[in-house]
């Protein structure tokens, strides 16, 4: 850049060289400056049980049935007037939804008690590829504790009080797998009141709902995770979902209707489970369980009840593998494909039980069961 300086007699040219330091520093953080931008997916959460298998932002928003342009004080006055109108049996202009329904209920039966509707617990059920874990970042959440709102991250899935992975098969206790959280706005209002009582400056917009730094970060231990939420009144959240590859998967929730899965304990004392949320046909393509070498047991036993290392195949009505009904318990070694067996249960499960003394591994061929597979059924759960 060039500057002209006039000192009264002479006109002087000054050449100033400006160094653009920030762009060079900024570029040092761009690991792949020439790579194309990854498209950012945005999904709207509309179902109470929303299953997600794609990365991106998942947005939920629940609004109260009131005009957005009204201020908080005006909205309260309008609700009080609507309540008085309902009591007098008068029509409610401009009011719809719950208020109008309450008015109709008052006209239909005077003095009849309307039971309070219990808030519904919903969930964002996330599932990834077998060799991935789930990462959920709460970019924003508005769940007021005072209204009974509550959110929770679950390391795994929960359905009807049962968990995947099972409580006894996970390396973490249940109290460490479930993390509950909500917004405690009461602390905000107390702080504002204390500021006013101390004659400190309070911004005119502070009476509105506070904008809190409420970003949270969670990671699962397997390819399944759950974000539960109970928001009875107004509230919202934005959850970003990502998936990360892992080298030693153990527990896997199946989303494909036909695939081959490899199970191994990597020499560790642990239980690993593959569960499919549908009736499935299971067969073994390769097996080595309970022997130190492949030649230790060159046969397959489908009724291994006593050995500590075994492969359990069965099904159950719920997610927890502890309630598994066994169709077969397998041990031994073979490289030949085994026979197919159909599991007609709500949840089909293959569970590898390992003591840590052996390098156990198995290749599982799994597909969705059809009506004609009844002939090869080894287990049919009660309806």
pLDDT in tens, 222-252: 999 999 999 998 899 999 999 999 999 999 9
DSSP one-letter code for 358: S
What is the per-residue pLDDT across 130-176, written as a single tens digit (0 to 9) for each? Answer: 999 999 999 999 999 999 999 999 999 999 999 999 998 999 999 99
End-to-end CA distance of the chain: 82
Task: Report, as an integer, the average pLDDT of 334-349.
Answer: 94
What is the per-residue pLDDT across 25-57, written as a single tens digit (0 to 9) for each? Answer: 333 333 334 444 445 799 999 899 999 999 999
The distance from CA 293 to its chain's CA centroid, rounded to whole angstroms, is 40
Structure token digits, residue 278 = 């549908």
Q: Name the more confident of 353 and 206.
A: 353
| Whether residue 363 has a cis bond before it, omega within 30° of 0 | no
pLDDT of residue 163: 96
What is the per-residue pLDDT across 166-188, written as a single tens digit (0 to 9) for each? Answer: 998 999 999 999 999 999 876 55
Q: Binning pLDDT at 50, 70 and 90, where does residue 255 land?
A: confident
Q: Is 311 helix (H, G, I), strand (E, B) or coil?
A: strand
CA dihedral (174, 176, 178, 182) in degrees, to 10, reads 150
pLDDT of residue 257: 81
Instruction: Check if the beta carbon of residue 57 is closer than 8 Å to that of residue 124.
Output: no
Q: Is 79 helix (H, G, I), strand (E, B) or coil?
A: helix
Pairing of strands 271-276, 252-254: parallel
Query: Over the Cα atoms of the chain, what is R_g?
Result: 30
Closest CA to 281 of 350, 369, 347, 349: 369
pLDDT of residue 297: 53
pLDDT of residue 307: 79
pLDDT of residue 103: 42
The C-alpha atoms of residue 96 and residue 77 are separated, in whole angstroms, by 16
Structure token digits, residue 39 = 């498209």
pLDDT of residue 338: 92
Q: Binning pLDDT at 50, 70 and 90, where does residue 366 land?
A: very high
How many residues appear in the chain? 383
Task: Report, as an integer, the average pLDDT of 180-202.
Answer: 65
Question: Going by C-beta distance under 8 Å and a sequence separation of 6 or more, which residues neighbour residue 346?
Answer: 277, 278, 279, 315, 316, 317, 318, 381
The C-alpha atoms of residue 276 and residue 378 are separated, in whole angstroms, by 16
What is the per-residue pLDDT across 268-312, written as a single tens digit (0 to 9) for each? Answer: 999 999 999 999 999 999 999 987 554 545 789 998 877 789 999
The C-alpha atoms of residue 287 and residue 289 are separated, in whole angstroms, by 6
The C-alpha atoms of residue 25 and residue 41 are separated, in whole angstroms, by 29
What is the per-residue pLDDT across 62-119, written as a single tens digit (0 to 9) for each? Answer: 986 554 444 455 545 555 555 555 455 554 444 443 333 444 444 444 444 545 567 7
pLDDT of residue 80: 57
Instruction: Check if the beta carbon of residue 58 is closer than 8 Å to that of residue 241.
Output: yes
């Amino acid at each position: 850049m060039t500057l002209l300086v006039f000192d009264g007699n002479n006109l002087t040219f000054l050449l100033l060289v400006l160094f653009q330091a920030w762009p060079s520093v900024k570029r040092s953080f761009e690991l792949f400056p020439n790579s194309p931008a990854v498209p950012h997916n945005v999904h709207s959460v509309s179902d109470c049980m929303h299953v997600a298998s794609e990365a991106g932002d998942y947005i939920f928003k629940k609004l109260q049935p009131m005009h957005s342009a009204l201020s908080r004080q005006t909205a309260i006055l309008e609700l009080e007037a609507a309540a008085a109108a309902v009591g007098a049996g008068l029509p409610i202009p401009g009011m719809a939804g719950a208020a109008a329904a309450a008015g109709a209920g008052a006209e239909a039966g005077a003095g009849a008690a309307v039971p309070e509707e219990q808030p519904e617990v919903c969930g964002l059920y996330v599932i990834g590829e077998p060799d991935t874990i789930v990462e959920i970042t709460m970019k924003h959440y508005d769940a007021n504790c005072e209204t009974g709102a509550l959110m929770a991250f679950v390391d795994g899935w929960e359905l009807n009080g049962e968990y995947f992975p099972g409580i006894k098969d996970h390396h973490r206790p249940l109290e460490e797998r479930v993390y509950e959280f909500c917004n405690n706005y009461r602390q905000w209002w107390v702080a504002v009141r204390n500021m006013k009582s101390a004659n400190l400056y309070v911004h005119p917009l502070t009476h509105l709902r506070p904008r809190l730094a409420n970003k949270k970060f969670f990671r699962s231990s397997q390819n399944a995770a759950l974000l539960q939420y109970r928001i009875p009144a107004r509230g919202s959240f934005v959850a970003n979902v990502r998936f990360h590859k892992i080298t030693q998967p153990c527990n896997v929730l199946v989303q494909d209707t036909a695939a081959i899965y490899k199970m191994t304990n990597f020499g560790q004392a642990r239980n690993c489970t593959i569960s499919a949320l549908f009736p499935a046909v299971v067969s073994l393509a390769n097996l080595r369980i309970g022997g130190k070498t492949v030649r230790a047991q060159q046969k397959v036993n489908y009724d291994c009840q006593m050995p500590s290392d075994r492969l359990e195949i069965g099904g159950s009505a719920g997610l927890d593998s502890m309630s598994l009904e066994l169709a077969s318990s397998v041990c031994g070694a073979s490289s030949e494909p085994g026979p197919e067996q159909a599991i007609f249960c709500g949840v089909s499960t293959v569970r590898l039980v390992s003591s840590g003394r052996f390098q156990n591994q198995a290749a599982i061929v799994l597909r969705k069961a059809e009506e004609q597979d009844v002939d090869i059924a080894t287990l049919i759960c009660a309806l």
